[in-house]
Structure 1
Amino acid sequence: MINLFERFDRPSLDFLRSQVIAKIKIPTVAMYDDGFLPENIDSPIQYFCKLGGNKKPLYFDQLPVPEFWRIDANGSKASVFDMNRRRANIFFSATNNSRLVKEVQWLDSYGKVAWIDHYDQHGQRFAKTIYSSGRAVSRKYFDNRGRLVLTWNLIADDLFLHTGLEQRHFASYVDFICYYLNVRHYNLDHVFINTLNKSLAVVLRLKPDGEDTIFWHEATGKDLPGNMKFVMENKTRVKHIVFQRFEDWQRRVEFLPEDTGNVDFRYLGIIYPHPRSNQLRANALIFTNSDQIEHLDDLVKMLPNVHFNIAAITEMSSKLMAFQDYPNVDLYPVVKPNRVKQLINDCDIYFDINHGNEILDSVRGAFEQNMLILGFKNTLHQPQLVAAENIFDPNNTTGMAQQVLTALVQPRKMKKLIDEQRLVASDMKIEDYKKVLGALINE
Structure 2
Amino acid sequence: MKYLVEEKYVHEFLDLDETDYMVGHDDGSQIEFLSPFRYYVNKSYGYKREKKDLHYNNIPLPEFWGVYPDGFNGMVMDKYIRKANIYFKEPIIKRYVKSVEWLEEERVYRRDVYDCFGVKYYSEYLNKDGDLTDVIYYGKDGKEVVIYQPKNEVFFLLKNGMVNQVIYSYKDFFMSFLEDLNNDGI
Normalised to the residue count of structure 1, the TM-score between the two structures is 0.34
Higher relative contact order by CA 8 Å / sep ≥ 6: 1 or 2?
A: 2
1:327-342 equivalence runs, <5 A: none
- Counterparts of 2:92 and 2:63, CA distance in 1: 29
Shift of 1:94: 3.7
Contact 1:56–1:121 (CA<8 Å) still a contact in 2?
Answer: yes
Residues 1:55 and 1:179: Cα distance change in structure 2 (over 3 Å)? same
The count of corresponding residues between Structure 1 and Structure 2 is 166
Counterpart in the other structure of 1:118: 113
Percent identity between the two aligned chains: 27
Counterpart in the other structure of 1:130: 125
Shift of 1:59: 0.5
The correspondence for 2:179, drawn from 161, 176, 182, is 182
Shift of 1:126: 2.2
- Counterparts of 2:170 and 2:176, CA distance in 1: 10
Letter in 1 for 2:65: W
- Counterparts of 1:48 and 1:29, CA distance in 2: 18
Counterpart in the other structure of 1:45: 37
The correspondence for 1:35, drawn from 28, 37, 40, is 28
Deviation digits for residues 371-427 of structure 1, max 9, x if unmatched?
Answer: xxxxxxxxxxxxxxxxxxxxxxxxxxxxxxxxxxxxxxxxxxxxxxxxxxxxxxxxx
Shift of 1:182: 3.0
Tell me, yes or no, if structure 1 residue 56 matches structure 2 residue 45: no
Normalised to the residue count of structure 2, the TM-score between the two structures is 0.76
Please identify which structure carries the higher helix content.
Answer: 1
- Report runs of 4+ in structure 1 exceeding 6 Å deviation: none
Deviation digits for residues 339-364 of structure 1, max 9, x if unmatched?
Answer: xxxxxxxxxxxxxxxxxxxxxxxxxx
Residues 1:73 and 1:142: Cα distance change in structure 2 (over 3 Å)? same
- Counterparts of 1:162 and 1:102, CA distance in 2: 25
- Counterparts of 1:126 and 1:5, CA distance in 2: 16
- Counterparts of 2:29 and 2:138, CA distance in 1: 16
User: Mean alpha-carbon deviation: is it higher for 135-144 or for 63-72?
Assistant: 63-72
Letter in 2 for 1:36: S
Tell me, what secondary structure is at the counterpart of 1:104?
strand
Residue ranges of structure 2 left out of the alignment (5+ in a row): 8-18
The correspondence for 1:72, drawn from 68, 71, 85, is 68
- Counterparts of 1:72 and 1:88, CA distance in 2: 11
Residues 1:101 and 1:44: Cα distance change in structure 2 (over 3 Å)? same
Residues 1:160 and 1:114: Cα distance change in structure 2 (over 3 Å)? same
Contact 1:118–1:128 (CA<8 Å) still a contact in 2?
Answer: yes
Residue ranges of structure 1 left out of the alignment (5+ in a row): 9-25, 186-443
